[in-house]
Amino acid sequence: MGKILAIANQKGGVGKTTTSVSLSACLAYIGQKVLMVDIDPQGNATSGAGIDKADVEQCIYDVLVDDVEASTVIMETKVENLYAIPATIQLAGAEIELVPTISREVRLKRALEEVQSQYDYIVIDCPPSLGLLTLNALTAADAVLIPVQCEYYALEGLSQLLNTVRLVQKHLNHDLKIEGVLLTMLDARTNLGLQVIEEVKKYFQDKVYQTIIPRNVRLSEAPSHGEPIIIYDPKSRGAEVYLELAKEVVSNG
């Protein structure tokens, strides 16, 4: 059974999508079969994986709201072994449309159960909120990976996220684990970045990944070329560190 990882943090711009796309592609690169699921109406992970939204006929919206089978919306990507369920702006309506429906928090879980055995990893890119879409991801997931940006106020909002994780554990998904906290966008030239690392490690201890993602301009360029970093510039520092992270994720089991 594939392991389902939700990449979540309700704070915007902390590196969720960059991590979802880069980690998924690097896991695929080292031989894992990966399904990346975009549940953010912004659809950034979809385009980051090289999928042109104009080519998307059905997306995760149809799965969540209209009970379309997940297997029929899965698309291939440029990366061997990497498949994706895309999101388009249509998904923006789901948060409200799902409210009056039965089992509204378990829709993604049910949909993924049908394809889970065909993949080694399923990586879900969450939107920057703790709404129904993120709840669906946390309910479907075996574990949550929390990207934390190495900047001032890094820990702000994390208690709210951890509280949501606890509520999901209590009511919707007893087995949900915190896979790890990933420090992102480190500028090692500043003391601030190093202070944040200390602070986050003090708080999360051994839950913090050894791999720390530095700021790397190639990582910020890759999405506009529709290529995950491992294809866009495999020799870049960005590709190296996400490859390290992929190996760390696999070795953590």
Residues that bind ligand ATP (CB under 6 A): 12-18, 40, 42, 44, 128, 184-185, 213, 215-216, 219-220, 223
Q: Which is nearer to ligand ATP, 193 or 223 (CB)?
A: 223
Could you tell me the smallest distance in angstroms from the CB atom of residue 118 to ligand ATP?
26
Q: With b meaning 16 or more CB within 10 Å and e meaning fewer, what string describes 143-176?
A: bbbbbbbbbeebeeebeebeebbeebeeebbeeb
Tell me: does residue 109 bind Mg ion (CB under 5 A): no
Helical packing angle, 237-251 and 16-29, nearest 10°:
70
Could you tell me the smallest distance in angstroms from the CB atom of residue 6 to ligand ATP?
13
Could you tell me the smallest distance in angstroms from the CB atom of residue 39 to ligand ATP?
11
Name the nearest CA neighbour of 84 among 128, 131, 54, 39: 39
Both tokens of 214, joined, read 């530095």
Q: Which stretch binds Mg ion (CB under 5 A): 21-29, 38-46, 105-113, 218-226?
A: 38-46
- The answer for residues whose C-beta is within 8 angstroms of residue 5's C-beta and 6 or more apart is 121, 122, 123, 124, 141, 142, 143, 144, 145, 179, 249
Using Cβ positions, the residue closest to Mg ion within the complex turns out to be 17
Per partner kind, with CB cut-offs from 5 to 8 A, the member of Mg ion, ligand ATP, none near residue 213 is ligand ATP
Continuous H helices in 172-227: 191-204, 217-221
**Residues 43-72, interacting with Mg ion (CB under 5 A):** 44
**Residues 4-33, interacting with Mg ion (CB under 5 A):** 16-17
Could you tell me the smallest distance in angstroms from the CB atom of residue 8 to Mg ion?
10
- The answer for residues whose C-beta is within 8 angstroms of residue 66's C-beta and 6 or more apart is none
Q: Which is nearer to ligand ATP, 40 or 233 (CB)?
A: 40
Q: Which is nearer to ligand ATP, 45 or 115 (CB)?
A: 45
Per partner kind, with CB cut-offs from 5 to 8 A, the member of Mg ion, ligand ATP, none near residue 38 is none
> What is the C-alpha radius of gyration for the chain, rounded to an integer number of angstroms?
17
